[in-house]
Amino acid sequence: MKQRSVAQMAIPDYQTVMSETEIERLWLDEAMHPDDDLDRGLAKAYPAQEVLDRARSRLK
C-alpha cells in the first residue's frame, strides 16, 4: 500500500489548493506555536511520566 503524505491526508484535493511544500511549511509553522509559548512562559511543560500518572489516576 502506498503511503500518503500529510498533505494528501489533510486535504483530499490538495494539489489544486496549494503545493506540498506550502502545506508542509504550514504544518511546521503550526507545530512551532507550542514551542514558542513555552519559550515566552505562556505554557508549562510537564514530564511525560507525570502526565501519564495523573491521567491514569483520573481513570480509576
Asked if the structure places residue 1 within a domain, the reply is no
pLDDT mean over 22-27: 87
Q: Cα separation of 23 and 6, whole Å?
A: 8
Note whether 43 and 34 are within 8 A (CB): yes
24 φ, ψ (degrees, to nearest 5): -60, -40
Cell 514530564 belongs to which residue? 47
Q: Cα separation of 24 and 5, whole Å?
A: 9
Confidence of residue 48 (pLDDT cuts 50, 70, 90): very high
Asked if the structure places residue 40 within a domain, the reply is yes
| Number of domains, the chain | 1
Give the predicted TM-score (pTM) of the model: 0.43
Q: Cα separation of 11 and 7, whole Å?
A: 6
Residue-number span of the structural domain to which 17 is assigned: 6-59
Q: What is the pLDDT, as a whole number, of residue 58?
A: 94
